[in-house]
C-alpha cells in the first residue's frame, strides 16, 4: 500500500500537530450531489449500490473530486449487520430503512447469528479494498458501523421510530434478554470493524445515532458499555500505524466525560454542545470531531464562514480537532454551500496551528 500523501486526519485524531484542521462531512457521499443521484440510478437500488464494489467506490470518491477533504468514508449503511443476521433490510422511498423480519421474541434474539464479515458481509470488504486501492494514498479511508444500541433500535422497532417504545419496553421489562442481543451485536460489530481494518480502513467510527434517546443510567448500561467492549476488541495497529477510533453519540453531550473514558481516540460531537465547553470538560484526553449544525449549510456562504470561524475559535489553538458537521449533510443542500464550508475550514484553520 502506498504511503499517505495527506495524513492530517489521522494525526488530528491522535492529537498530533497538523498544519491546519482536517475536515470531512458525515454523509459526504450522498444525495446532495447530482453525480451521486446518477450513480444511484445506475445501480437500481440503494442496497444494490452498496453491494457493487465499483459503484460504491465511485460514490465514495465523488466528493473528493469536488472538495479539498482530508478523508474518504466507506460508502455503506449502518444496518448491514442486521441485514446479514437475516432480518431482510429494505428501503421505502421517503420512509427510510425497514426490516421484513424485525425482532419480536426471545426466540428471535437467541436465533440471531453473528455474521462472518468476509462471508455474509464480503461485499463491504470488497468495497473497502476497491476504495483503498483507488484512493492511491491521497487521503485515509474511514470504516464504520452502527453501535449495538442503534442497530438494536432498528431491529426491534422494524424501522424508524419517534417513540422507541418497543426497544425501551425490551430493555426495561426484560433487561437480561436485551443484554443477550446487545452482546451478540457487540461481537458482530467488533468482527466487522476488524475486517474493515484488515481490508484497508485506516480509522473507524461507531455511529451511535440513537444513544441520546436514553437516560444517563440507561445510556451507560445499554449503549456505552457495548461500545467500550467493541473498542477493547479492535485492532489498534495496522500497516505500521495506529488505527484511531471515533465514537459518535448523537445527543451525547451530557456524557462526554464517560465517552472520552471509553478507550476511544476521539469523540464526535453533535451541534447541541458548544465545542469550547466540550474541550474544557475533557481537555486533551481525546480528540474532538465536529460540530457545525448541518442546517447551517442552507445559509449564505458568508454566514457559513462566520460559523466556521466561531467553532474554530471555540476549540482554540493546537491539535486534536477534526472539523465536521454535527450530523449528516442534508440531501437538499446546495453543493456550492458545502464547498464554501470546506474552503472556510481550510483557509481559516491554519492560524490555529504551527
List of residues 6+ apart from 171 with CB closer than 8 A: 178, 218, 222
CA distances from 48 to 76, 115, 335 (A): 11, 19, 25
**Mean of pLDDT values over 336-343:** 98
pLDDT, residue 350, reads 98
Q: Is 308's pLDDT higher than 60?
A: yes
Q: Is 64 domain-assigned?
A: yes
Which residues form the domain of 230? Answer: 8-352
For residue 43, the surrounding DSSP H or E stretch is helix 34-43
pLDDT band, residue 96 (cuts 50/70/90): confident
CA distances from 41 to 59, 159, 278 (A): 12, 23, 41
Q: What's CA 105's distance to the chain center, in Å?
A: 29
Read off φ and ψ for residue 47, nearest 5 degrees. -70, -35
Find the DSSP H helices in 136-174.
148-157, 165-173
Q: Is 2 domain-assigned?
A: no
Q: Is 335's pLDDT higher than 80?
A: yes
The C-alpha cell at 20 is 491546519
pLDDT, one tens digit per residue, over 70-92 is 999 999 999 999 999 999 999 87
Q: Is 116 domain-assigned?
A: yes
Asked whether residue 30 is marked as a ligand-binding residue, the answer is yes
Asked whether residue 36 is marked as a ligand-binding residue, the answer is no
Q: Is 1 domain-assigned?
A: no
Question: Is there a contact between 246 and 286 (Cβ–Cβ < 8 Å)?
Answer: no
Burial class (CB in 10 A: 0-12, 13-18, 19+), 195: buried
Q: Is 2's pLDDT higher than 90?
A: no
Give percent of the chain with pLDDT exceeding 90.
97
Q: Picking from 103-107, 133-137, 280-284, 309-313, which range would have the lowest pLDDT averaged per residue?
A: 280-284
**Other Cβ atoms closer than 10 A to 93:** 6
Q: What's CA 341's distance to the chain center, in Å?
A: 19
The C-alpha cell at 27 is 454523509
Q: Is 184's pLDDT higher than 70?
A: yes
pLDDT, residue 94, reads 76
Burial class (CB in 10 A: 0-12, 13-18, 19+), 32: buried
Please state the domain count of the chain. Answer: 1
pTM of the complete model: 0.97
In this structure, the strands spanning 266-268 and 89-92 are unpaired
Q: How many helices (H) does the chain have, and how many strands (E)?
A: 16, 11
Q: Is 326 domain-assigned?
A: yes
Q: Is 12 domain-assigned?
A: yes
Q: Is 309's pLDDT higher than 90?
A: yes
pLDDT, residue 266, reads 98
Asked whether residue 29 is marked as a ligand-binding residue, the answer is yes
**Mean of pLDDT values over 56-65:** 98
Q: Is 166 domain-assigned?
A: yes
Pick the closest to residue 76 from 160, 130, 145 (CA basis). Answer: 145
The CATH number for 29's domain is: 3.20.20.210
Burial class (CB in 10 A: 0-12, 13-18, 19+), 302: exposed
Task: Give the span between the Cα atoms of 20 and 15, in whole angstroms.
Answer: 12
Asked whether residue 132 is marked as a ligand-binding residue, the answer is no
Task: Give the span between the Cα atoms of 87 and 100, in whole angstroms.
Answer: 6
Asked whether residue 77 is marked as a ligand-binding residue, the answer is yes
**Other Cβ atoms closer than 10 A to 100:** 11
Task: Give the span between the Cα atoms of 83 and 115, in whole angstroms.
Answer: 10
pLDDT, residue 198, reads 98
The C-alpha cell at 120 is 455474509
- The rounded mean pLDDT for the chain is 97
Asked whether residue 327 is marked as a ligand-binding residue, the answer is yes
pLDDT, one tens digit per residue, over 232-270 is 999 999 999 999 999 999 999 999 999 999 999 999 999
Task: Give the span between the Cα atoms of 103 and 110, in whole angstroms.
Answer: 10
Q: Is 3 domain-assigned?
A: no
pLDDT, residue 291, reads 96
Asked whether residue 7 is marked as a ligand-binding residue, the answer is no
Asked whether residue 20 is marked as a ligand-binding residue, the answer is no
Q: Which residues are catalytic?
A: 27, 31, 40, 77, 154
Amino acid at each position: 500500500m502506498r504511503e499517505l500523501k495527506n495524513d492530517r486526519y489521522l494525526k488530528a485524531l491522535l492529537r498530533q500537530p497538523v498544519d491546519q484542521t482536517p475536515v470531512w462531512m458525515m454523509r459526504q457521499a450522498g444525495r446532495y450531489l447530482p453525480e451521486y443521484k446518477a450513480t444511484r440510478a445506475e445501480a437500481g437500488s440503494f442496497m444494490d449500490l452498496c453491494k457493487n464494489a465499483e459503484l460504491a467506490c465511485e460514490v465514495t470518491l465523488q466528493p473528493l473530486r469536488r472538495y479539498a477533504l482530508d478523508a474518504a468514508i466507506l460508502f455503506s449503511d449502518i444496518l448491514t449487520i442486521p441485514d446479514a443476521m437475516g432480518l431482510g433490510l429494505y428501503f421505502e422511498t421517503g420512509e427510510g430503512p425497514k426490516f421484513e423480519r424485525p425482532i419480536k421474541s426471545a426466540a428471535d434474539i437467541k436465533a440471531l447469528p453473528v455474521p462472518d464479515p468476509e462471508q455474509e458481509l464480503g461485499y463491504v470488504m470488497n468495497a473497502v479494498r476497491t476504495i483503498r486501492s483507488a484512493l492511491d494514498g491521497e487521503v485515509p479511508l474511514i470504516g464504520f458501523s452502527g453501535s449495538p444500541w442503534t442497530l438494536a433500535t432498528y431491529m426491534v422497532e422494524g424501522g424508524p421510530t419517534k417513540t422507541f417504545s418497543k426497544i425501551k419496553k425490551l430493555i426495561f421489562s426484560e433487561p437480561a434478554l436485551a443484554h443477550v442481543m446487545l452482546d451478540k451485536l457487540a461481537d458482530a460489530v467488533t468482527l466487522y470493524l476488524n475486517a474493515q481494518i484488515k481490508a484497508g480502513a485506516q480509522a473507524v467510527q461507531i455511529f451511535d445515532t440513537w444513544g441520546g434517546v436514553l437516560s444517563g443510567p440507561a445510556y451507560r448500561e445499554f449503549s456505552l458499555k457495548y461500545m467500550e467492549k467493541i473498542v477493547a476488541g479492535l485492532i489498534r495497529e495496522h500497516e505500521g500505524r495506529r488505527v484511531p477510533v471515533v465514537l459518535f453519540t448523537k445527543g451525547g453531550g451530557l456524557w462526554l466525560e464517560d465517552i472520552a473514558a471509553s478507550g476511544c481516540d476521539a469523540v464526535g460531537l453533535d451541534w447541541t454542545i458548544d465545542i469550547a465547553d466540550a474541550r474544557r470538560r475533557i481537555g486533551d484526553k481525546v480528540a474532538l470531531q465536529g460540530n457545525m449544525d448541518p442546517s447551517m449549510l442552507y445559509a449564505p456562504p458568508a454566514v457559513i464562514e462566520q460559523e466556521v470561524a466561531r467553532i474554530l475559535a471555540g476549540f482554540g489553538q493546537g491539535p486534536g480537532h477534526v472539523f465536521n458537521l454535527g450530523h449528516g449533510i442534508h440531501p437538499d443542500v446546495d453543493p456550492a454551500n458545502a464547498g464554501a464550508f470546506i474552503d472556510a475550514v481550510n483557509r481559516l484553520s491554519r492560524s490555529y496551528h504551527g
